Amino acid sequence: MFVYADNAATTKMSKLAIETMVPYYESVFGNPSSLHSAGQEAKEALENARATVAACLGCDPREIYFTSGGSEADNQAIISAARYGARKNKKHIISTAFEHHAVLHTLNKLEKEGYEITLLDVKEGHNVTAQQVKDAIREDTCLVTCMYANNEIGSVLPIGEIGAICKEAGVPFHTDAVQAAGHLHIDVKAQNIDMLSLSAHKFHGPKGVGVLYVRRGFPMTNLIEGGAQERSKRAGTENIPGICALAAALKDACDHMEEHTATVTAMRDKLIEGLSQIPHCALNGDPVNRLPGNVSFCFEGIEGESLLLLLDMHGICASSGSACTSGSLDPSHVLLAIGRVHDVAHGSLRLSLSHYNTMEEIDHILTYVPKVVQQLRNMSPVWRDLQNGVREYIL
Ligand SMILES: *Cc1c(COP(=O)(O)O)cnc(C)c1O
């Protein structure tokens, strides 16, 4: 059995998204900037896609900018707010300790330029509260950027409440909604969101295309200079096939959100319930305000990498927070941020589901994860020490 349970990393494209792309390679391949009919046809497709995305987010099409993905949208949102803030002598930014690196690394860069960054603590409940945001806002705060939902541990943040607080304080509010778009209800006006990032490949669209929503009138800084595309805020010939597929996939996800949420949540809850039976484990992330498809655990006495490799041999594609892929042996900043100590954080497992998963697949996962955890523990010197009382259990 092959089970793809790594949908937080990327999703399989839907047939709809694939079929939407094809005509824009085969026949409607013009450059939207061209004045001839082939170009104008592409331009029309682009503007239709923009209107579709705007309708899904509850904003005006003129507030939608297409980008190369979530990372670019995050970078541009944060840099825009930072540059605007500097012009008013405001150089303080509030964010959270468990943001995606697209946000954290941009903030690191700004810190080196003299901005002051406050990262809100996420240990309590593996989440932040609107009150934490409120308490952190200062006279010189030029941006609050908090993710809508965490990609590793699934916590869903109180975005509407944070938006209301930012609005009241007159501080621009950006949210990285890459994990939320197409999965959770978004209404940028009702939630007082000034800027929002999303990415097509997290909701069964293609890779390499995303959106930055920016409230009308908010001054943007370009990351890419060149032509006058995207109202001169993002140069480069538009990725029409990708943009049209993004719009179709987002609309499809929003149209079927309730139904998908119900199926995915049922599978998630069965997995959480089943995996909780493994001794000396802990669920990561907010147990209540949680993405429908996220399951994240730490198992004491094992290495996440070995777990992934063994699960892969049983056909299960999962992920671990302790990514040594980057050549670093440091456990995930997210797991450390919620207070997991290094040893525990190393034994992490993330299973992220989509509506393409089935209950049979959940049963397959529930058969093999406990076996593989036990198999690894049997070989682990750390586990032996824990069992012999030489070391104390943390979980
Ligand atoms: C995937 C992801 C990103 C990056 O999006 P890309 O389109 O891959 O650049 C940013 N933030 C979060 C929360 C993500 O899950």
Alpha-carbon span 338 to 335, nearest angstrom: 5
Alpha-carbon span 299 to 98, nearest angstrom: 20
Q: Let me know if 146 is a catalytic residue.
A: no
Alpha-carbon span 249 to 232, nearest angstrom: 26
**pLDDT confidence of residue 254:** 98
- 175 in Cβ contact with 147 (< 8 Å): yes
User: What is the band of 10 on the pLDDT scale with cuts at 50, 70, 90?
Assistant: very high
**pLDDT confidence of residue 330:** 79
Cβ density class 275-289: b for 16+ within 10 Å, e for less: beeeebbbbbbbeee
Residue type, 59: C
- Which CATH fold would you assign to the domain 15-255? Aspartate Aminotransferase; domain 2 (3.40.640)
Instruction: For the domain covering 3-10+257-387, report its CATH number.
Output: 3.90.1150.10
Nearest CA to ligand 1 atom 14: 178
Ligand 1: atom nearest CA of 9 is 1
* pLDDT for 292 beyond 60: yes
Q: Which has more pLDDT, 226 or 328?
A: 226
- Average pLDDT over every residue of 290-313: 96
Q: What is the DSSP string of 26-66?
A: HT----TT-SSHHHHHHHHHHHHHHHHHHHHHTS-GGGEEE
What is the percentage of the chain residues whose pLDDT exceeds 90? 97
- Average pLDDT over every residue of 367-377: 98
Residue type, 232: S
Whole-number Å distance, alpha carbon 202 to ligand 1 midpoint, is 8
Choosing from 59, 146, 317, 324, the catalytic residue is: 324
Which residue spans of the chain are classified as CATH 3.40.640.10? 15-255
**pLDDT confidence of residue 323:** 55
> Does the global pTM surpass 0.95?
yes
* pLDDT for 327 beyond 60: no
Residue type, 203: F
Whole-number Å distance, alpha carbon 104 to ligand 1 midpoint, is 12
**pLDDT confidence of residue 367:** 98
* pLDDT for 42 beyond 60: yes
Token pair for 184:
């959770």
What is the percentage of the chain residues whose pLDDT exceeds 70? 98
Q: What is the DSSP string of 120-138?
A: EP--GGGS--HHHHHHH--
Residue type, 276: S
What is the per-residue pLDDT across 258-269, written as a single tens digit (0 to 9) for each?
Answer: 999 999 999 999
* pLDDT for 326 beyond 80: no
**pLDDT confidence of residue 328:** 60
- Average pLDDT over every residue of 368-385: 97
* pLDDT for 127 beyond 60: yes
Ligand 1: atom nearest CA of 199 is 7
Q: Is the CB of 210 under 6 A from ligand 1?
A: yes
Within 8 A by CB and 6+ apart from 325, the residues are: none
- Average pLDDT over every residue of 25-39: 97
* pLDDT for 212 beyond 90: yes
**pLDDT confidence of residue 322:** 55
Q: Is the CB of 70 under 6 A from ligand 1?
A: yes
Which residue spans of the chain are classified as CATH 3.90.1150.10? 3-10+257-387
Cα separation values, 355 from 14, 41, 92, 312, Å: 11, 34, 40, 21
Taking each continuous run of H as one helix and of E as one strand, the counts in the chain are 15, 12
